[in-house]
């Protein structure tokens, strides 16, 4: 069985090595991404709301409720 302390040390060293390769977004890139996600959520929620209302109206017309 492998030494658990050595395994943890190896994992830590490999993790730190990979983290040094990461590039983090700039403040402007993060802002643009956030605006894009929030805009997409608003548009999607509007599409789902309109579809729900239209389908509800159709079901009421078909069933006569």
What pLDDT does residue 44 have?
98
The pTM of the full predicted model, rounded to 2 decimals, is 0.63
- pLDDT of residue 1 exceeding 70: no
**Torsion angle, CA of 36/39/43/45, rounded to 10 degrees?**
110
Please enumerate, as own/partner, the contacts of 23-26 that have beta carbons within 8 Å and a separation of 24 or more: none
DSSP type of residue 3:
-
Binned at pLDDT 50, 70 and 90, residue 65 comes out as confident
pLDDT digits (tens, 9 = 90+) for 22-56: 998 999 999 999 999 999 999 999 999 999 999 99
| Residues contacting residue 40 through CB under 8 Å, at least 6 positions apart | none
């Amino acid at each position: 069985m492998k030494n658990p302390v050595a395994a943890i040390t190896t994992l830590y060293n490999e993790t730190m090595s990979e983290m040094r390769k990461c590039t983090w977004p700039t403040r402007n890139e993060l802002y643009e991404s956030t605006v894009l996600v929030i805009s997409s959520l608003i548009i999607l929620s509007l599409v789902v709301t309109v579809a729900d209302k239209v389908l509800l109206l159709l079901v009421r017309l078909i069933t006569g409720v």
